[in-house]
Chain A
């Protein structure tokens, strides 16, 4: 059961009082987040009746969800596209450009190699290469969403970033594995 208040239905950008753009002011977003938390956090309601405690938990959950959504570039892009009614087709559209797939294969081989050879240097280098590519794609997203409003191209980049996010996770696990 969610609260029925008007504010609870509003989108995350309005909730945090930020313009609905891909390029955001991270400091302003954080300031809004903390100001909201200071009002709704369960610690402020622990001594109050059950109805208010429940409401506080629902609000804080929403504020946390909103912050997670807007703070992460990939989540923010997905969210902006969904507000535009655009389906990013992350499950259905599996056709990726050949050069991107080739690069993925090369990076996955490097990951295997680092794991086999227990080579931290290879892993660190791979991590940096992936991060560079992620930053490059995010710049593209900013252009596609905020400037040219080419949502089809933006959806393509979201699908690529999803691949890279998965790869980054696997690199993280590989660091843990080499460490143990």
Chain B
């Protein structure tokens, strides 16, 4: 039987062509991009040879956007228009940020996404208009994407973006939206400590229970993992997505205000003193004391000496908060500190001597500092991206991660009923049945929250779902089965079905802090450096690449299993559908390619199921088939 020729010059990927994929560490303070080259994970530098891109975005009145070092230089002169540590605002409302008087921004409370709900994600007023944290983060990601495409000489197949393990659904969704806005195909959201464990574990052939202590600029994570024969299994994770190096700076900043009898400073002075505070903190890592000198806009001179002992004393309770999270994670993993074989330190803030000391004392061993704490997350993400893109890596390994926070639904009296407990391995799902309480009721509302507390008001509201189209019945006789699915990115989706009649109930999702598809589309259009034509061309190329990959995958599958699993008619149907896609792939009709891809996906669904069944059987038969291709 003649196999289809699927290779179109200049279009489809060569069967064994290396697919360009990167790992991106979108950090509070700095961001990095890394890739696997010749089997080795490497951080990609900018033209000046710098690996770290400061996560700072400056919006000028003339519409120019600066990112990184150049933006950082504007932060004191234009504090309102220069966004620093935007990660702290991702998926957050104004009330989550706490005291805003010490932050030099003009916050805008976003309108709530639906009536009766809390306001949505906060926004920032800049010279270039009101910006969402998602848009600000997208600027950073865009710079890294361009850096990678220049360095690698081609468009990326996709990227793994890292997020703090303790990020909730809203923060994860915001990160994914930002990547989409930056023109990146997100292969996976990967938890930062897990990324570090991959980089460390593969590098050191580590086996046993390891803890990853990750204190970044604005977030803290602790993950306990078991590494065993190529399996990275996260046992428990805990943390604080609002605790990081910035808070240590802030302690110094407050001490400076106190020492000089200052309050309610103008924005440029706030930014200037925060920058001085950060420098002082870094100085105190290597020195026992440091001197802070600054001139305020009023002309007043600040000149103070800070000692390391003083700094440690004022920030000791921040360190204690990290140890509390550590104890919780160990309890959840049902382990004691002495059972942990090694502690990997991640994040620039772990350089502080009292952090090293406290962690060392807690575990009774010196923490592992042999990987660069600034780069290890990006390096691990790149390794994962390489595998996800389908580039064969020599060794096969498996990553089993968890959701950090329990998922629950609101029940009578504002109480939470947990449906997926924290530290469940993902992907995970739970189905729950609901019924109507009134005759003829055709709609109901379900409120999903995330958190460990018993009261809805103490947990984070994720979304309100409205189920509509329930057939009218007597109260209590409708049985609506709602399935909550958490995917491999830790993101929630919901589907519902009325069991008695079999009708699919439609769902209106109202994420409390997320952005709607319309908002994303608007942002894409607002982004004036993304000419519409460019976007169209890019969308067409992406569609063509996807189509070519699909054709390649189906062709491979048919060669492997077609004869064994399908009758002649089924094979002919698939081949016919492949012909259909082949006829339109080189054209410029984006929609036609999309339709043909969907048709081929549809017609191969059953084949894919049969292949999966076969592969599952082989797993238990004790011998392995060659990898599904």
Contacts and interface: CB of A to CB of B under 8 A. Distances in A.
A42 B427 contact: yes
Given A34-B231, A55-B609, A40 B424 contact: no
B608 A52 contact: yes
B618 interface: yes
Nearest to A42: B488
Interface string B463-507: 000000000000000000000010110000000000000000000
Contact of B427 (A6, A16, A60, A172): A60
Interface stretch (B288-296, B382-390, B527-535): B382-390
B617 A7 contact: yes
Consensus secondary structure, chain A interface: helix
Contacts of A48: 390, 553, 628
A64 B597 CA distance: 31
Given A44-B628, A61-B428, A180-B324, A7 B601 contact: no
Interface residues of B, number: 51
A2 to B, nearest CB: 10
Contact of A57 (B398, B399, B488): B488
Interface residues of A, number: 43
B264 interface: no
A56 interface: yes
Contacts of B18: none
Contact of A61 (B485, B601, B609): B485
B341 interface: no
Contact of A49 (B157, B231, B553, B616): B553
A49 B488 CA distance: 16
Contacts, number: 125
B429 A65 contact: yes
Contacts of B428: 61, 64-65
Interface string B264-288: 0000000000000000000000000
A36 B620 contact: yes
A107 interface: no
A55 B601 CA distance: 12
Given A5-B612, A46-B390, A48-B553, A61 B619 contact: no
Interface in A57-73: 57, 59-61, 64-65, 67-68
B405 to A, nearest CB: 14
A36 B616 contact: yes
Nearest to B157: A47
Contact of A47 (B549, B608, B624): B549
A46 B188 contact: yes
B102 interface: no
Contact of B619 (A5, A38, A65): A38
B543 interface: no
A60 B488 CA distance: 10
B387 A59 contact: no
Interface string A1-35: 00111111000000011000000000000001011
Interface string B601-629: 11011101110110111111000100110
B328 interface: yes
A123 B605 CA distance: 54
A61 B427 contact: yes
A56 B612 contact: yes
Interface in B350-399: 384, 387-390, 396, 398-399
Contacts of B606: 4
Given A5-B610, A55-B609, A61-B428, 13 more contacts: A5-B612, A7-B616, A32-B620, A34-B398, A35-B619, A36-B616, A46-B187, A46-B388, A48-B553, A48-B628, A52-B612, A56-B612, A57-B427
Interface of B: 19, 157, 187-188, 231, 324, 327-328, 331, 384, 387-390, 396, 398-400, 424-429, 485, 487-488, 549-550, 553-554, 600-602, 604-606, 608-610, 612-613, 615-620, 624, 627-628
10 contacts: A3-B612, A39-B619, A42-B488, A47-B389, A47-B549, A49-B600, A55-B605, A55-B609, A57-B427, A64-B428
